[in-house]
Structure 1
Amino acid sequence: MIAKISETLEPINLQGGWPTPRLHPTKEIEAASSALFRQKDVQQSLRYGPELGSSNFRGAIADWLTESYAPKAGSVVSERVAITNGASNGLACVLQKFSDPCYTQGVWMVEPTYFLACPIFRDAGLGGKIFGVPEGKDGIDLEYLGNRLREVDENTLLPMEPRKTVEGGYPKIYRHIVYIIPTFSNPSGGTMSVESRKGLIELARKHDALVVSDDVYDVLRWPTLEGETLEKVGTCTPRLVDIDRNLEGFSAWGNTLSNGSFSKIVAPGIRAGWVEAMPALISAMGTVGATVSGGCQAHFASLVVEKMLSSGALSSHIQKTLIPTYRTRWLSMTKAIRKHLYPLGVRIVGDEGETVGKIAGGFFLYLSFKGCSASGPTIAKTALEKYNVKIAPGGIFSVPDDPESKIRGEDTYLHGARLCWAWNEEVVLVDGIERIAKAILDASK
């Protein structure tokens, strides 16, 4: 029987994936808002916004993405960018325009997965077609995905036509949707290699799939070795959208879409984001029904963020505040894990011990409890009920619509938990790890 929560312990939440409110750039947001309202044409700015977002903001994002990623395929242009009110809304709008409950045969989610995306797929009428794909050692098990895509396609009764027709305003419907967070993944923290990204795009082209890539953590990156700089260890892995347009044989519609958000780098409540894809796909995004009716779905917020982006305030906030803070927290957490948890059989998934020339980033890391005497769920329960520390147990990261997902996870992610360093200060993170160590010892008795 697990003891009740100790009244002497303050709660520590290592589960929630939110940025600390003190890191929100309130002064910069205030300055940007004031600058907006000092404009002589501010009344015009408060009208319905252009469906795809203001041309100035789309151009500013394109320039920022070009600077951030230096894509080998060439500069990002504004015609590749549409404004959303965040990554969740971006995914929902993409599904409204480019999927069809009748024609789209599968949604493929890498497991462990960001489970809160599942209701968005269900809302699009794709319930019953949501499947898991093992993550594997390199971001995704391409062999498994390829076999399953072929199996589904071969067993689909043909001919089959979309109910959403070209005449009805749907110029392109994809047969499959693949959902992935390829860089600093939520929840695993892993990053796909370039070769796996190329392999995924080749599969997508073969099976008429749209790969929706949540690229919300990419710019939050730092060297794992103290004293090293990003200039020394290299830039972020190329995004899927950049690889797609640089590979021979790309189509006018493309097979990838980058889903971005300012939630993690400005504030969740700002509700502004963007999608990037081939210009034909982006143009069609402007015909989503809610956007045609109401204009840009993040118009006012986007005008504020545009000021921050154009002035350099956002880039400065990322480089001078977010990255140093998150890097310090990540270092504190990983050092505490190696000191207090590694002797108990715990490991950070993907940790090979080598730090030179490596890059970390995002919000999350994933622990494996396979080397412990107690099970992952028991450890998570003991940590919460006896030591008042909340972690995200592996069971919540299965694909709930796929009954085989948890079976596949029995040897991998179900034996672990996700931890987030973005919310708590260093001293709290270390305290939380020490409590988890105590919970492991108690749960192993």
Structure 2
Amino acid sequence: MPLSSQALPIARPVAGDATGNPPPKPLINLLRGWPAPSLLPVAQLQAATATLLTDPSIVVGSLQYGPDPGFQPLREQLAGYLSRTFAAYHAPNDVERICITGGASQNAACVLQSFTDPSYTVCVWMSAPCYFLMCPIFEDAGFAGRLRAVPEDDQGTDLEALERGFQEFATSPPSGPTLKSHLSPQRKAYRHIVYVVPTSSNPSGVTMSVVRRERLVRLARKYDALLIADDVYDFLQWDVSPADVDADPVVQQSHVALPPPLPRLVDVDRMLPRDDDESGEGGDRFGNAISNGSFSKIVAPGLRTGWVEATPAFAYGLAQTGSTKSGGAPSQFSAATISVLMRTGELDRSLREVVRPALQRRHRLLIQAYEKHLSPFLELGCGGFPTSASPVRTVFGGYFVWLKLRRPDMSAAVVAKRALARENLVIAGGPLFEVKGDEASARFDDRIRLCFSWEDEAKLEEGVERLGRVLRNWDEPCEADTAPTGAGDFK
């Protein structure tokens, strides 16, 4: 069973023992990047499936094998929804740019099957710190030992470092005869793969600047790279203002509108005119960036449904992946259920009135707890409150905050061990987010990631307070320093 799907162990309070020792503390997990159960739209899904199963016009199609690109009504609804959301960037309402997937992770595997060739594709470049569960997906596709870390700053991926990496392989020929000659003309193999989370990156929370997005697309065109952009948090953004510092965390806004979004990399790739030397082999047809979307964070992970937006040629080629054609489109019934949510407006209503308000409030609770208990020991990377007295607003989103240890003699790995041993608290130490096989290029043992989406709100401050105690008592000896954390059991 994969670690990410294991059930969370439950610590049950028991009476103190005969020696008078207090009962163990309940487990608090600030590692798990799942939506809280209270954010799952159970009633809306019940209504949607009831509608679906009683509508003779769509019930059979939802229960049968589907067309290769996915459930057509959902493709149409997504094309319209994305066109409206990204209207400032002239996103077209074009169903041919949409391919339904089995979620962002499953789709990454399909992209690698259809648009890479381990004998031709040189490397997978990962913005670091990275979403660590992507590493096994790339390894399974034949790139074990060829994952490369690209450092990140507060504007996003370091493009100078990325180009230096590209240039190392600019003159090297392919390692051998192609393994996938069958890909043409519906698909192609790219020379490089670049994996990024441009908006509210996991784990750092950094959002890539528009200028850097444009430069990244230019680089991808120049070196025949495909940008796989996990756009899973674009709809989970909210305003943060100075007023939030003193806001009552119990009071929840009735609705939270989505702030004006930045252009996705796929928008940039579509809008930027190509120079003659940027066309490449099929570059203008297949493009150099895709938007890898998912309903896991905005509806429910168990639906295992997502989408890709790309050029029509890329979307069609992706739909020709063997496992997709054999299965008759992934997640057909789930896709049909989500299409009902979109058609009735329930998806947008849930995001506006439940999910974004809850995440905004949880983020505020965590930051207030950080300022109270952790600020002497940890530096907040991004996502804090504006410090100016002016009415400046900023935008934050996603599930995580990324913190840096202030004391150089502290180790995130040891902090995680002590937190579990002393406080029954699970946190994510920075080494978890190093690129597998290239850890030396970007080390993070001075970093900690805290998730505010999973635990109940009452446990968020308690978890931060427990972590504060670990750090305050750092100089006390602890036998847990050499014990394994078992943190993998809590993902």
TM-score, normalising length: structure 2: 0.84
Offset, 1:390: 0.7
Contact 2:205 2:402 in 1 (8 A): yes
RMSD over equivalenced CA pairs, Å: 2.2
Contact 1:232 1:357 in 2 (8 A): no
**Per-residue displacement from partner, 1:151-193 (whole Å, max 9, x unpaired)?**
1223x23696632125666531100000010101111111000
How far, CA to CA, are the matches of 2:221 and 2:289 in structure 1? 10
Offset, 1:353: 5.6
Amino acid at match of 2:221: R
How far, CA to CA, are the matches of 1:43 and 1:231 in structure 2? 37
Give the equivalent residue in structure 1 for 2:315: 282
Give the equivalent residue in structure 2 for 1:75: 92
* 3-state secondary structure, aligned to 1:404: helix
Change in CA separation of 1:38 and 1:234 when aligned onto 2, cut-off 3 Å: closer
* 3-state secondary structure, aligned to 1:213: strand
How far, CA to CA, are the matches of 2:61 and 2:306 in structure 1? 22
* 3-state secondary structure, aligned to 1:347: strand
Contact 2:241 2:386 in 1 (8 A): no
**Per-residue displacement from partner, 1:223-262 (whole Å, max 9, x unpaired)?**
1116699999951221111011011107121100110111
Report the count of equivalent residues. 434
1:384-399 equivalent positions in 2, closer than 5 A? 384-399=420-435
**Per-residue displacement from partner, 1:107-142 (whole Å, max 9, x unpaired)?**
000111011101111111121211111012311111
Give the equivalent residue in structure 2 for 1:247: 272
Contact 1:25 1:317 in 2 (8 A): yes
**Per-residue displacement from partner, 1:61-100 (whole Å, max 9, x unpaired)?**
1111122222413324211110011111110111100000
Give the equivalent residue in structure 2 for 1:127: 144
How far, CA to CA, are the matches of 1:435 and 1:6 in structure 2? 16
Where does structure 1 lack aligned partners over 5 or more consecutive residues? none
Amino acid at match of 1:212: I
**Per-residue displacement from partner, 1:288-309 (whole Å, max 9, x unpaired)?**
0011111111111100000001
Percent identical pairs in the alignment equals 39
Change in CA separation of 1:167 and 1:24 when aligned onto 2, cut-off 3 Å: closer
1:221-370 equivalent positions in 2, closer than 5 A? 221-225=237-241, 234-249=259-274, 251-342=284-375, 344-350=376-382, 354=386, 356-370=392-406
Change in CA separation of 1:402 and 1:366 when aligned onto 2, cut-off 3 Å: same
Offset, 1:416: 1.0
Change in CA separation of 1:224 and 1:444 when aligned onto 2, cut-off 3 Å: farther
1:25 matched to 2:41? The reply is yes
How far, CA to CA, are the matches of 2:256 and 2:350 in structure 1? 19
Amino acid at match of 1:316: R
Change in CA separation of 1:272 and 1:351 when aligned onto 2, cut-off 3 Å: closer
Structure 1 window deviating more from structure 2 (106-115 vs 224-233): it is 224-233
Amino acid at match of 1:376: A
Offset, 1:43: 2.7
Offset, 1:47: 1.5
* 3-state secondary structure, aligned to 2:368: helix
* 3-state secondary structure, aligned to 1:274: strand
Offset, 1:268: 0.7
Where does structure 2 lack aligned partners over 5 or more consecutive residues? 1-20, 245-252, 477-491
**Per-residue displacement from partner, 1:192-234 (whole Å, max 9, x unpaired)?**
0001111111110011000000000110111111669999995
1:40-55 equivalent positions in 2, closer than 5 A? 40-41=56-57, 42-55=59-72
Change in CA separation of 1:203 and 1:151 when aligned onto 2, cut-off 3 Å: same
* 3-state secondary structure, aligned to 2:180: coil
TM-score, normalising length: structure 1: 0.92
Change in CA separation of 1:62 and 1:307 when aligned onto 2, cut-off 3 Å: same
**Per-residue displacement from partner, 1:274-297 (whole Å, max 9, x unpaired)?**
011111100111110011111111
Q: Which of these residues, 161, 165, 172, is aligned with residue 148 of structure 1?
A: 165
Change in CA separation of 1:11 and 1:40 when aligned onto 2, cut-off 3 Å: same
Contact 1:84 1:273 in 2 (8 A): yes
